[in-house]
Amino acid sequence: MSESFYDNIATQLADIHEPILLVGHAEKNPCLSPLLHQPYINVLFDLELLNELIQTQANNYKLVVFDHILSKLDFLVVLDMAKQLLSSEGELYLVDNITQNAPTEESPSIPHIAPYFIAQAQRCGFELVLNSSQERFTLLQFKLQRSTRWRILPVAEQQKTAMLALFKQVFGSNMSNDMWQWKYGHHRGVAVGVWQQEQMVAHYGGMQRRLSYFGEHKLGMQIGDVMVLPTERGRLTKHGPFFLSASTFSERHVGYGTPHFIPYGFPNARHIRVAEKLGIYAKVDDVVDITWDTLTVARKSKWQYVKKLEQREELQSVVNKLWAKMYQELQQHIALVRDWEYIEYRYLQRPEKQYTFLAVYNVFGQPVGLVIIAIESDYCRFMDYIGCFQQIPRVMHQVCAYLQQQDIEHLGGWFSAAIAEHFARSGGQVSETEIILPTIVWGQGVEVEKIKQRWWLTTGDTDFL
């Protein structure tokens, strides 16, 4: 960056004569280095010392400058630290590689987008003073305008205990450490939390999924673990914890300019109404329930047979063969990639659940369809299907015949309404549910009309069943 960009910063620093903190590499900058001897200027090169500084010099600084630190510190963390370091109406300067342009469908993943940064800073109580760019770099200048009761921060493994405590308060049950790791560990998931002092009061999470998007390979995001502390649920405004977590998550993790092209989730109708009013969600389809009476639907055939797959190698072979065929038929749909990598993760590695794999073979010993079910104490749940569309009725007839022999009377599961006809043709009874399929419309992303009634989703595309 040319020196003139920093000349303005240096002039303002020289005029303040109150405590100033420079975080980054000010000593290497010819415009700033002459000021470093001033007694009111503190320079911090070691980012690990920031937390210690907050403990000893909270609310002490009139100005805090973060210079090219976003490769090491998350922007939300920068805002949170600045709030704790600044005095009343203190100012924050952020200089970094930040793009001014709103992302488009052709945009690569852009980690630092000025319009999103400005919106997130405003939610944290900052007012924009200056947004100036030169060459590849941007200066964002903020003033700490108001005190907010909320802190907005990314949720990582260090915050897992707080997240699990909130989960228990909201849902009345425990999420195990194994389950959290399965969802969010190894960078599979991301989340944004809203805190009141040291207590997490809201959480908005998502898990990375590989998609077939009209035949193209894309990364998507399954939204999950959306929760607000019961005592805070009445604050359903753009200053409340749900909006703060959902909007910030959306800007950071889904849509154009992020690694995750498109999101999906399974909220109920009440939740989506709230999110629609706040401009977060738009409906793209309904979720229906299909139930098969196994006695009625069962049709034994001498041309096909069912085999319960229990050997890993055989299951892998069947999945790979059938997914290769199914993928070719999904050119008009959006679906999770159901290859072996996904099936192994979703059904063999998921904690606390056991699934049954029923393959239907033809008379030549070739697999024509795979149905994944979960046999529970009083219910048999349809989870997933891999295979050609035209085989679905015959496959379901054979699976129901197999289940009838096991004294299982009913099989049922969830389906996006767009694909319900494929499964209802086999004799399943379709009924409505309170579950809605939304997409996130906050920020830049795919037009709603392009994806309406295009999702191929079944029960197994949830993470909680």
Quick check: 19 pLDDT over 80?
A: yes
Give residue 271's pLDDT.
Answer: 86
d(CA 324, CA 368): 12
Lowest average pLDDT, out of 31-40, 279-288, 438-447, goes to 31-40
Per-residue pLDDT band for 1 (boundaries 50, 70, 90) equals: very low
At residue 110, φ and ψ (nearest 5 deg) are: -120, 105
User: What is the pLDDT at residue 31?
Assistant: 80
Mean pLDDT along residues 93-115: 87
pLDDT of residue 58: 85
Among 47-56, 214-223, 368-377, whose mean pLDDT is lowest?
Answer: 47-56
- For residue 394, CA distances in Å to 222, 236, 282, 304, 423 come to 31, 48, 36, 9, 10
Average pLDDT over residues 116-144: 93
Tell me the pLDDT of the chain averaged across its residues.
92
Which residue ranges make up each domain of the chain?
3-144, 151-264, 289-461
CATH 3.40.630.30 for domain 289-461, yes or no, is yes
CATH of domain 151-264: 3.40.630.30
* pLDDT for residue 319 is more than 70: yes
For the residues 171-179, what does the mean pLDDT come to?
A: 96
**How many of the other CB atoms lie within 10 Å of CB of 127?**
15
Least confident of 43-52, 229-238, 299-308, 435-444: 229-238
Rg (CA), the chain: 26
pLDDT of the residue at 363: 92
pLDDT score recorded for residue 331: 96
pLDDT tens for residues 224-283?
999 999 988 766 778 899 999 999 999 999 999 999 999 999 988 888 888 999 999 999
Q: Which two three-digit tokens encode residue 125?
A: 């109580």
Q: Quick one: pLDDT band at residue 4, thresholds 50, 70, 90?
A: low
Q: What is the mean pLDDT of residues 149-158?
A: 94
Q: Quick one: residue 352, left, alpha or beta (phi over 0 = left, psi -120 to 50 = alpha)?
A: left
Q: Give domain 3-144's CATH superfamily.
A: Vaccinia Virus protein VP39 (3.40.50.150)
When mean pLDDT is compared over 51-55, 69-73, 311-315, 374-378, the highest value belongs to 311-315
User: Which residue pairs, CB below 8 angstroms and at least 24 apart, start in 157-161?
Assistant: 157/184, 157/185, 159/193, 159/200, 160/184
**How high is the pLDDT of residue 401?**
94
Percent of the chain with pLDDT over 70: 99
Evaluate whether 3-144 and 289-461 have a shared fold.
no
Nearest alpha carbon to residue 260 among 320, 351, 190, 195? 190
